[in-house]
Every structure is written in structure tokens, then in C-alpha cells.
Structure 1
Amino acid sequence: MSEALQILQKYWKHDTFRSQQNEIIDSVLSGQDTFALMPTGGGKSICFQVPGMMKEGICLVISPLVALMKDQVQNLQKRDIKAIALTGGIKSDEVLELLDNCLFGNYKFLYLSPERLQSDLILDRIKGLPINLIAIDEAHCVSQWGHDFRPAYLKIADLKTHFPKIPFLALTASATKRVQEDVITQLGLEKTVVFQKSFARENMAYMVFEVEDKLFRIEQILKKNPQPSIIYVRNRKSCLDISSQLQSLGFKATYYHGGLSSKEKDKNMQLWMNEQVQVIVATNAFGMGIDKANVKTVIHIQLPENLENYYQEAGRAGRNGEKAFAVLLTSPSDIIQAEGQFIAVLPDKSFLTTMYVKLCNYFQIAYGEGIDEQFSFNLNHFCGHYHFPILKTFNAMQFLDRQGIITLSQEFSEKVTVQFIIESKEVIRYMSLNTKEEPIILAILRTYSGIYEVPANLNLPLIAKKSNTDENAVIQLLQKLKEKNIIDYQAKNNDATLIFNEVRQDERTINRVSKYLENQNNLKAAQLKSVLNYVNDQKVCKSQLILNYFGETTISNCGVCSYCIQQNKPEVNSISLAKNILALLKTEPLNSREIQFLTKNSTDDIIFALQQLLEHDMIIVKPNNQYTLKS
């Protein structure tokens, strides 16, 4: 038995390696720079953790995802493996102390973000560590053509000069051929051994359905497949709404989004992991590091931003090798919504410059000053002060963060949480007796539909605007309602922290990075176009469309996607179906859903048959949308 397999069995309790893991480990152990493209669920972390354990010294792991770093460190510590993560929020003197611990404390893994390498002080300490392997996770971030480009990743190549004999291992779950080549170039990898696992998932059925009633189709899917499922949505409100609607239909469901506390996240995730609920409704905050093998169905009810993210999220189904479903439900309005959500909110150079100048003015930073200054920052207050759109401003600040111009902690939940703790009829009675307070209460109720069931994070400027008042009046009323035991109200001091990493230079600062902004915007537009092509193309197998996007070619259809099933489906006899519908309507009026259930035909076939019967004046539609025979 090889030493690598012994370590895998001892610490991870796995009997064998997955496909290509052993080969990647052998490449790294032989000192080769290695690029591994392994789709979601392929077991990327094992590829650097096992050789890191086999070699003397410390494995340096560079990752942009704080949550994933923490998760991997915790998992290693559970296995009695010494690991440490230098995440944001740790002061410089503490970081240096932790790095000393790495040197003298027999640590095996050091995780840090690429931004940490921009500190000469930290880089000097790392140079003195006995590094045995440098692993770059989410390596597509190195490339400006990747879907999550971070310029700080470009600094990783500097480590080559300090550790010329140490192998680099670049890992990613999704990269086109162009991105792959760019990563190898930007990291300075030499004589690179490339491992690329096919993106094909033979057990996965990719389904795209255009539907009028998404909730009804979800209900059908979950009843047909009662195993663990994930439903991905775009925002926090949808998490709660869809979860509540599913519960009212009799399904056991919970939800997960970035606004929940750590305790709530863990509780809801465990309910789903332990199969006390069938469904978890989640934003894309859910999924990193989640390894549940028997997920049967992943449903997206809004268009994804790009196919890279969609492939990763859909790929959380069927990791046990059994047949699984990746379902994308669309409606005609989705395209307009996606363009508004992903493209219209992208900042151009003009907006970025204006926002940056106003940001400096907001904190009274003079031209040529401001480096290393730190402030408490509230995004809503800033946007309200300058009448900036919140999403576009956030995207602009995120871009500046990625460029290293500022550092912005991701703490954008509002400062106030509220939940009504009396029944709605009592709230209505209170408003009728206190009419001056009615506009504010109504604004809250109309903005946060689930506020009776769970606490809502209140956007104070928004509520003040909707009720035509000011924030102080809103806060005073909330305090009054709390005293009367009408609401549970808590104010939290959780503004974001903003650090300026450079001196203020206005246009000179923005001009330096504007080419990256243009590339980013063009890339995002092209990526959304690829998503629309995936949805709208009715002439190609869905699995083939995904493989083609990632540079793989195949001449055979998958046979199980929505396109292939439609092609293989026997043609419906429209006349026979129409006669069947007429026979049903002789008994009682029925709506289209009831007709579909009774005839077991597809929605499209039912709609076509009903249109034919209407055109021939054989049936009519009643005001309640039921069809009946024409008398």
C-alpha cells in the first residue's frame, strides 16, 4: 500500500482515491508544477492535503473564500491535523505572532487570502517558513478572463522567486481553455502537468422548462423526487417566501442566506443535512464546502449570472453517482430581470470615478492622503447621502476592493432587526387607534412580508423614504413599539469596516484600473449571453451546450436532458387528445392544470389542444379560468 493511500485511510477514512486524485498527488510529490481542473465534488482539497501531510514542512494554501478556509481548517483540526487560517479582521501584530506559531508549532497547513501577500511584512515571514507545497485554490481568479478575477492573485507569481524548487498546484472547478492557459502564464508555472477531468456528468439530467407557474412545477418535481433537494434563488426575500410556500403545500423546507446569524445558518443546514427537511431554499451563499452525496434535485428558479456558477451549483446534485436532476425554470420576463440584475448594475468608468471621489469626500480625505486610514462604513447611509443606487455602488466598491485600492469587510446586514410578536389583526387595530404612526408601520409591513414569522433586517433609509419621514422618527417608533410588546426590536452595531490602502489620487487611481473594469463588464455581458443561449437553444442537447462552453466536444447526445427527452418523445396525436379533453369536459368544467393531471400530457401539448378547441368554438373559458363545453 502506498504512503499516500495510508494517509488517506488514516486521516480521511476513505478506502481509495477518486479519479485523478492519486495522479495529481504523484505529480506534486515529484516536484512538478501542476494544474488541476476538477469539477465540483471532485475532491480538490485532498490533492494538496495528502501530499502536504507526506512532506516535511508546511503546505501554503491561497484561497479567496474565507468561509471555505475556515471550513477546511476546522475539518483538518477535527482530524488532529494542525492548520491555521489568516483571515480578515486579524491585526498585523497577531498575524505575525500566528506566523511565528507556524514556524515553531509544527503546523502542517497555512491558509491565507491572496491580499495577505501584498504585505511585505507578512511576505518576509512566509519566506522564512519551511514551505513544502503552494496550493492555489479557485485558481480561475488569477485570470482576468475568469468569472471572479482578483488582481491580488497576480502577486502569487512572486512566490516563485522565493521558492523556486517548491511545486505549485493550481486548482479550479470551472475554467474555459482561455482561462486555463492564462492561469498557467500568470502564475509562472513551468513544465506544467495538466489534469482535466471531463465536465460531463453522465448521471445528471439537465432540464430547462419555460413555465408560467414556477411554484406549481416545483411542487410536481419535489413530489416525484422526494429525496434531498436544493432550490437556488437570487435574494433573501425569495428564500423565505419560497420556503414558506413549500411548507404550506406540505413539504418540509428550510432556508439559508448570508443575512442569517451563524447559529441560524448551522441550525438550518443541519436540518437539511440530517434529512429532517427535504428542501433547503438558498442563495448562492450556500454550497461551498457542502458535501452531501444523495442530493437528487437542484432547482434554479431565476437565471444564473454565468454558466460557471450554474455548473458548480447544479453539480451539488448526484455526487453518489445515481441519477440526479439540474432543473432551470424560466419565464419570458426572466431575461429582462437578469439584464437588470447583472448588467444594468455594473459601474462604468464615469460612475466609478464619481463614487470614489465622493467616498473620499465622505470621510474628509484630502488629495494625496488617506493611506491605511480605517473607518466604520454604512453602505445605505452613504448611498442615501449621495443618491447613489445601492447595487451599482456595492459593485463599484467590490471592484475597488478586488483591485486592492480599498479593503471592505463584507458586513452589509442592516443595523436593525424587527419582528412583530402580536397577531396581524392586533397590529391593524393599533394602527386604527394611532393613525400618525400608520405610514411607518405600513411601509415596514409592505416591504418585509415575512416579518410576523422571522426577524427582518430593516433598511432604515428605505423605510423612512417610503413613509415620507426621517430615520430618527422610524427609530423612535420602533422603540415605542418594543416597549408596548408589539415588536421584538434589536439594534446591532455591525457597520462594515473600510480601509483605504492607497493615497487619494482621484482620476489617476481610476485610470490605472479602468482597463480591468472594461474587461470585467464585457466578460459579464458575454457570460450572461452564454446563459441565454443555454436556455433558448432548442436544437442542441443541454449537456452538449455545457460541455461546449468549457471547451469539450462530443458528438453524442446525453439522452436524458430536456432536449433529448423531447426529441425521443412519441408524437402526440392532437385529434385524439382533443377528443379526450372534450370527453372530460362533458362531466365537469376543468382548468388546464386539472386537464393535464387527468390526461398525463405535457403542458405544451395541452395548451395546443385547448387552443385548437377554442378556435373551432367547441369550448369556452369561464371567468375562473375553467374550460367548459360550448352550449
Structure 2
Amino acid sequence: MSEALLLLQKHWKHDSFRTPQEEIIQSVLDGKDTFALLPTGGGKSVCFQIPALLLNGICLVVSPLIALMKDQVQNLQSKNIRAIALTGGISQDEVSAILDNCQFGNYKFLYLSPERLQHDWIVERLKQLPINLIAIDEAHCVSQWGHDFRPAYLKISGLKVAFPKVPFLALTATATKRVQEDICTNLALENPVFFTKSFTRDNLAYHVIKTEDKLFKIQQILKKNPQSAIIYVRNRKSCIETSQQLNQLGFKSTYYHGGLPSKEKEKNMQSWLENKVQVMIATNAFGMGIDKPDVKTVIHIQLPENLENYYQEAGRAGRNGEKAFGIILTNSTDIGHTKSQFIDVLPDKKFVKDVYVKLNNYFQIGYGEGFNESYAFNINEFCSRYSLSIVKAFNSLQFLERQGILLFQNESTEKVSLQFIIPSKEMIRYISLNPQDEPIITTILRTYSGIFDVETKINPNLIAKKSGSTEAAVIKTIERLEESHCIVLHAKNNDSCITFNEVREDDLTINRVAKFLAHQNELKQNQFQSVIDYISNEDTCKNNLLLAYFDEETTADCGICSYCISKRKSNPVENTTLILQALGKSNLSSREIENNLQISSEALIFALQLLLEHHKIAINSNNKYYLL
């Protein structure tokens, strides 16, 4: 049995690799640059984590998503594998301390964002590390044609010069052929070995269902399929409202969005993972690192922004290989509503500059200042002060983040700042009386040298790692110090946090990235048109439409999507006859007809349209059909 397989069984509890994980791992172990396109659920992280464990040294993982970095670090740490992340919003001293730990602390994984590579001193420090593999996650971000282009990814190719003998592994779940070529070129991959897995999910049935009563349709779906489900919605308000509605109807559900405190996120997540609740109502903040095999149904009750996101989100169903469903519920007003929420709120150059300037003024940052400064931020308060559209301002902040200008952590965070207010001699006495607190207190004092003079922001997670403790233990120690009047403590929960990665330069900053903004807006408009084409096309297999979008050719229909089923089962002549007979007895709504006659939604709509066009029936003010 191979060493790689033994590691998979030991740490990941799987008996065998999925195709083509083992081949990717071997390519990396052979020292070759490798490109891997593994659609969602394909197990990308294993492809770099296992070879990194087999090689001497440390694996450098470049990832754009803080939540994903934290999730993977926690998962590795739970397996007693030493991993650490360079996330945003930490001081240069803290970054230096983390890199010291990597150099001397026997770490196996260092995660960092691509923006970190824009600092030459960090690259110089990385050169001192025994790096055995460089893994680039979400590699489509390096392409202007990818759905989440980030210019900072273009800096990654510089690591090829710094580490000429270290293999690169580029990983992505969604990339057209054009994007794949861009990835290899922009990362300077040398004769890369390609591994691409088909986007086809044989067990996943894609359905587009037209219905004016989405809640009723959700009831039908969940009753028919009582297994684990995810319902994706567009915003936080919809999360809470939809969960409340389903709970009132007798379904056990919970919800997840980026604004929830971490403890509530964890609690809700565990309830769903342990099947204490059937349904998770979520925004697209939910899903990264989630690999729940028994999800039967993923429902989108509003149109997705693009097909890349839809494919990944729907693909969280059926990972156990059993038949599962990816469903979009849509009605006559969806396209207009979604366009107003996704396309009409795309900011232009003037608006982005306005937000950037006002943001700096909001925090009283002078020209040429602000580098690496972090601020608690409430977007509602900010937009209210300057009379800005919240959605448009949010999109502007996201764009500025992708360009590496700032870091916008749009989730609940806790900021801790403190100052010691007793003399150092008294502190020594306190430690002698409380020896259990000594490792944490001495770590704080060594890490933040000026903490006796000024109130200082601290990172409890970093203190925990450096002191060999836990974050909870650090917080308890700090609370005891406050109770003993040794420190002044301020701990504050914030909706979000802004960290500036560059000094304020206004025109110079915005002019530099304006071309990317125009390109991004055009790309988003084209992507949304692809969503419209997907839901509107009634002449093609839904699976084939998705495959064609990702440049994958196929000749056979899937046989299980909404189009294939309607083609096989729909008999318009028979259905219109049945409807006329039913309406001969009483006037009925579309829901009543569907329930009484057991006709699929798609077939019912088609039959009703035929009868209306031929003036056989009409609809009254109570939304009931009647014979003419």
C-alpha cells in the first residue's frame, strides 16, 4: 500500500482516492508543475496536503478566501498537523512572528493571501523557508476571464524565480478552456501536467421549475425528499424569513450568513451537519470546505449571479453518489429583480472613487497615510452618513478588496485591545501568585512591547499559538487580569472590519484599477445573460447546457433533468383534456390543478398556456381558471 494512501486513511478516513487525486499527487511528488481542474466536491485540498506531508519542508498555499484558509487550518490542526495562516489585519510584527514559527516551529502548511506577495520583505522571508510545494487554490482568480479576477494573483509567478525547483500545483473547480490557458501562462507553469475531471455529475438532476408560489413548491420538494437539504437565498433577511416560514410549516431548519457571530455559525452548522435539522437556509457565504455527503437537494429560490457559482453550489448535493437534485425555482419577475440586484448596482469608476475617498475621510486618514491600519466598520452607518446605495457601496468595497487595495472582512469579528496599568514589578508579583497564567501573560508582554505605555490591539489567536494554549484560555486570562485591575480592556463586536493594504492616494489608486472595473462589469453582464439563457432554454438538456458553458462537449441527454423528464412524460393533448374535465366541475387555481391531476409544474404551465392561447379557458380575479 502506498504511503499516500496510508495518510489518506489515517487523517481523512477514506479507503481510496477519487479519480484523479492519486495521479495528481504522484505528479507533484515527481516535481512537476501540475494543473488540476476538479469540479466541486472533487477533493482538491487532499491533492496538495498529502504530498506536502510526504515531502520534507513546508507547503505554501495561496488562497484568496480568509474563511477557507481558516477552515483548512482548523481541519489540519484537528488532525494534529501543524498549519498556520497569514490573514489580513495583523501587524508587521505579528507577521514576522508567524514566519519565525514557520522557520523554526516544524510547521507543514503556511496559508497566505496573494496580496501578501506584493510586499517584497515577505517574499524575502519566504525564501528562508524550506518550501516543498506551492499550491495555488482558486487559480481561476489569475485570469481576467475568470469569474473572480484578482490582480494580486499575477504576482504569484514571481515565486517561480524565488523557488525555481519547487513544483507549482494550480487548482480550480470552474474554468473554461480560455481561463485554463490563462492560468498556466500567468502562473508561468513549466510544461504543466494537466488533470481535468468532467463537469458531468451523473447522479445530479438539474431542474428549472417555473412557479408563482415558491414556498408551496419548496414544501412539495422537501416532503418528497425528506433528507438533508440546502436552500440558497440572496441576502441575510431572506435567510431568517425563509427559515422561520419553514419552521412554521413543520420543517426543521436553521440559517447561515456572513453576519452571524462565529459561535452562532458553528452552532447552526453543527445542527445541520448532525442532521438535527433538515434544511440549511444560506447565502453564498455558506459552502466553502463543506463536504456533507448526504445532501439530497440544493434549491435556489432566487436566480444565481453566474453559472460558475450555481454549479459549485448545486454540486454540494449528492456527494455520496446517490441521486440528488439541483433546483432553481423561478417565476415571471425573477429576471427583472435579479438584474436590478446584480447588474444595475454595478459601480462605475466615479462611484468607486467616491466610496474610496469617503471611506478614507470616514476614518480620518490623511493623504499618504493609512497603510496596514484596521478599523471597525458598519456599512449601514457609513452609507447613511454619505447617502450612498448600500448594495452599490458593498460592490465597490468588494472590488477594492479584489484589487488588493483594502481587506473587507464582512463578518462579525471581535477586536480586543488592552493596556497594562500597574508597574512591571507588580506584574511579576501577580504572575507569582497566578503561575497558571504565566505562559500567556509573558507571551503578550513579549509580543507587544509598548503595551505598558499605550492601549494596544492584540490578536488572541496568535497569543494562543505562541503560548501553546487555546484562544478561550487567552480570553479567560485577560478577563482575570481585568478583574484584578491589572489592565484596561476593550473588547468589541463589530459587523465588519476594514484594513487598508496601501497608503491613501485617491486618483492614483483608482486610475490604476479602473480598466479592471470596466472589464469586470462587462464580464458580470455576460455571465448573468448566461444564467438567463440557462433558465429560459426549454429545448436543451440542462446538464448539456452547463457542460457547454464550461466548454465540455457531449452528445447524449442526461435523462434526469427537468427538460429530459418533461420531454419524456409530458403529453400536452392528454393534459389539456384532463384540465378541461377538471374545470368542468369547478373553477381551480394552478396549485389545485397540479395537486388534483398530479401533473408536473412544467407540463401544467405548457398545457395552461395552450388552452389560454386557444381561448378554451380564462383566469378570474381570484387567480382561478374557468371554462369559456
**Segment of structure 1 superposing worse, 529-538 or 402-411:** 402-411
Indicate which of 566, 591, 595 corresponds to 1:597. Answer: 595
- Show the counterpart of 2:293: 293
- Change in CA separation of 1:174 and 1:603 when aligned onto 2, cut-off 3 Å: closer
CA distance in 2, matches of 1:359, 1:270: 37
CA distance in 1, matches of 2:145, 2:610: 50
For 1:32, the aligned partner's letter is K
Shift of 1:146: 1.1
TM-score by length of 1: 0.82
Shift of 1:25: 0.5
CA distance in 1, matches of 2:544, 2:390: 38
Deviation string, structure 1 residues 288-311 (Cα, Å, up to 9, x no partner):
111111111100011101111000
CA distance in 2, matches of 1:104, 1:129: 9
- Change in CA separation of 1:619 and 1:549 when aligned onto 2, cut-off 3 Å: closer
- Show the counterpart of 2:172: 172
- Other structure's SS at 2:53 match: helix
For 1:107, the aligned partner's letter is Y
Deviation string, structure 1 residues 336-367 (Cα, Å, up to 9, x no partner):
11111111111111222233333344444444
Mapping of 1:61-100 within 5 angstroms? Answer: 61-100=61-100
Shift of 1:42: 0.5
- Change in CA separation of 1:505 and 1:565 when aligned onto 2, cut-off 3 Å: same
Asked if structure 1 preserves the Cα contact closer than 8 Å seen for 2:413 and 2:497, the reply is no
- Show the counterpart of 1:577: 578
CA distance in 2, matches of 1:625, 1:615: 17
Q: Does 1:257 align with 2:240?
A: no
For 1:386, the aligned partner's letter is Y
Q: Which runs of 5+ in 2 are unaligned?
A: 416-490
- Show the counterpart of 1:402: 402
**Segment of structure 1 superposing worse, 348-357 or 206-215:** 348-357
- Change in CA separation of 1:322 and 1:508 when aligned onto 2, cut-off 3 Å: same
Asked if structure 2 preserves the Cα contact closer than 8 Å seen for 1:577 and 1:609, the reply is no
Q: Does 1:191 align with 2:191?
A: yes
For 2:318, the aligned partner's letter is G
Shift of 1:592: 3.3
Shift of 1:377: 3.8
Asked if structure 1 preserves the Cα contact closer than 8 Å seen for 2:413 and 2:493, the reply is no
Mapping of 1:416-431 within 5 angstroms? Answer: none
- Change in CA separation of 1:213 and 1:367 when aligned onto 2, cut-off 3 Å: same
**Segment of structure 1 superposing worse, 149-158 or 201-210:** 149-158
CA distance in 1, matches of 2:612, 2:539: 30
CA distance in 1, matches of 2:75, 2:148: 26
- Show the counterpart of 2:339: 339
- Show the counterpart of 1:381: 381
CA distance in 1, matches of 2:414, 2:30: 51
CA distance in 1, matches of 2:171, 2:109: 16
CA distance in 2, matches of 1:606, 1:105: 65
- Other structure's SS at 1:145 match: coil
- Other structure's SS at 1:290 match: coil
- Other structure's SS at 1:45 match: helix
Shift of 1:223: 1.0
Asked if structure 2 preserves the Cα contact closer than 8 Å seen for 1:142 and 1:154, the reply is yes
CA distance in 2, matches of 1:593, 1:501: 55
Shift of 1:607: 5.7
For 1:315, the aligned partner's letter is G
- Change in CA separation of 1:258 and 1:200 when aligned onto 2, cut-off 3 Å: same
Mapping of 1:4-403 within 5 angstroms? Answer: 4-403=4-403
Asked if structure 2 preserves the Cα contact closer than 8 Å seen for 1:374 and 1:500, the reply is yes
- Change in CA separation of 1:119 and 1:259 when aligned onto 2, cut-off 3 Å: same
For 1:208, the aligned partner's letter is V
**Segment of structure 1 superposing worse, 185-194 or 401-410:** 401-410
CA distance in 1, matches of 2:497, 2:559: 51
- Change in CA separation of 1:554 and 1:613 when aligned onto 2, cut-off 3 Å: closer
- Change in CA separation of 1:224 and 1:111 when aligned onto 2, cut-off 3 Å: same
Asked if structure 2 preserves the Cα contact closer than 8 Å seen for 1:177 and 1:551, the reply is yes
Asked if structure 2 preserves the Cα contact closer than 8 Å seen for 1:578 and 1:613, the reply is no
Shift of 1:410: 2.7
Shift of 1:93: 1.2
% same residue: 65
CA distance in 1, matches of 2:275, 2:383: 42
Asked if structure 2 preserves the Cα contact closer than 8 Å seen for 1:543 and 1:557, the reply is yes
**Segment of structure 1 superposing worse, 316-325 or 247-256:** 247-256
- Show the counterpart of 1:445: none
RMSD: 2.6
- Other structure's SS at 2:125 match: helix
Asked if structure 2 preserves the Cα contact closer than 8 Å seen for 1:379 and 1:412, the reply is no
Asked if structure 1 preserves the Cα contact closer than 8 Å seen for 2:33 and 2:168, the reply is yes
- Change in CA separation of 1:499 and 1:86 when aligned onto 2, cut-off 3 Å: closer
Asked if structure 1 preserves the Cα contact closer than 8 Å seen for 2:580 and 2:627, the reply is no
- Other structure's SS at 2:280 match: strand
Asked if structure 2 preserves the Cα contact closer than 8 Å seen for 1:348 and 1:517, the reply is yes
Shift of 1:90: 2.8
CA distance in 2, matches of 1:321, 1:628: 45
- Change in CA separation of 1:263 and 1:354 when aligned onto 2, cut-off 3 Å: closer
Deviation string, structure 1 residues 536-580 (Cα, Å, up to 9, x no partner):
111111101100111101111111111111111252425631453
For 2:11, the aligned partner's letter is Y
CA distance in 1, matches of 2:367, 2:377: 20
Shift of 1:121: 2.6
CA distance in 2, matches of 1:145, 1:270: 37
CA distance in 2, matches of 1:275, 1:261: 21
Shift of 1:613: 7.6
Shift of 1:527: 0.6
For 1:320, the aligned partner's letter is N
CA distance in 2, matches of 1:50, 1:125: 25
- Other structure's SS at 1:555 match: coil
CA distance in 2, matches of 1:61, 1:198: 25
For 2:22, the aligned partner's letter is N
Shift of 1:102: 1.5
- Change in CA separation of 1:374 and 1:83 when aligned onto 2, cut-off 3 Å: closer
- Change in CA separation of 1:527 and 1:605 when aligned onto 2, cut-off 3 Å: closer
CA distance in 2, matches of 1:153, 1:289: 21
CA distance in 1, matches of 2:199, 2:35: 16
TM-score by length of 2: 0.83
- Change in CA separation of 1:229 and 1:336 when aligned onto 2, cut-off 3 Å: same
**Segment of structure 1 superposing worse, 8-17 or 160-169:** 8-17
**Segment of structure 1 superposing worse, 192-201 or 576-585:** 576-585
CA distance in 1, matches of 2:290, 2:66: 14
Shift of 1:616: 9.6
- Other structure's SS at 1:90 match: coil
For 1:111, the aligned partner's letter is Y
CA distance in 2, matches of 1:263, 1:331: 36
Shift of 1:126: 1.1
CA distance in 2, matches of 1:281, 1:98: 37
Shift of 1:628: 6.9
For 1:89, the aligned partner's letter is G
Paired residues in the alignment total 552
- Change in CA separation of 1:377 and 1:620 when aligned onto 2, cut-off 3 Å: closer
- Change in CA separation of 1:522 and 1:108 when aligned onto 2, cut-off 3 Å: same
- Other structure's SS at 2:208 match: strand
- Change in CA separation of 1:11 and 1:609 when aligned onto 2, cut-off 3 Å: closer
Asked if structure 2 preserves the Cα contact closer than 8 Å seen for 1:259 and 1:413, the reply is no
Q: Which runs of 5+ in 1 are unaligned?
A: 416-490
Shift of 1:37: 0.3
